[in-house]
Structure 1
């Protein structure tokens, strides 16, 4: 089979298109849904970030739900129903089943980052 578009070939080989069916696309969709889901339990500002070597192995993925106050972080961490819904988003978006239990989902607050890392989120997670 001959491919006339080398960029398309590379995208197909490495699945880097960002489509909803690609791993990257699934992660982006999960991230958006995590923010919406958290906002059902919390009325403050929420930002969800992710990183990891999920291209090497899907289990190497971390999600952080970032909020303002330590008190709110503690409340969200202890919200069993919320944490269950967040984990179920991985299943709903068909993240690789063998990795779902290994993906880390955590909460962090600006207050903690200010106190421990001088307000620098990048240094905080490094």
Structure 2
């Protein structure tokens, strides 16, 4: 868990993004049987709708299980509301899953190129 988020004002957009990331991690932990990492990026300072969260896991099997879990996906979306992310931007924020197996197969294992 990153404590650097506490250096930002609680109402700042950056703090909300980091708080959402922390809650995504806590939520996914209850559903995922593999080690995982949360990656986020975007031009949210231009427009808050330009925000992406990737839950990065090891296998395609677990990726598909998590993608098809409606309860989990609803919980993840609800974190935007919980942390008062700008309402107009919420439907546009991308939250999804990716696996190392897919990145290996499609992008020679390079996550940076895979997300470009």
Could you list the structure 1 runs, at least 4 aligned residues long, displaced by more than 6 angstroms after superposition.
none
- Unmatched tracts of structure 2, length 5 or more: 1-6
TM-score, normalised via structure 1 length: 0.84
Which residue pairs with 1:97 in the alignment?
87
Aligned residues: 110
In the alignment, which of 30, 49, 52 is matched to residue 40 of structure 1? 30
TM-score, normalised via structure 2 length: 0.91
Q: CA deviation at 1:42?
A: 1.2
Q: CA deviation at 1:99?
A: 0.6
Distance 2:35 2:97 in 1: 13
SS at match of 1:101: helix
CA RMSD of aligned residues (A): 0.9
Structure number, greater radius of gyration: 1
- Unmatched tracts of structure 1, length 5 or more: 1-16
In the alignment, which of 24, 29, 35 is matched to residue 14 of structure 2? 24
Which residue pairs with 1:125 in the alignment?
115
Distance 2:92 2:103 in 1: 25
In the alignment, which of 84, 101, 109 is matched to residue 111 of structure 1? 101
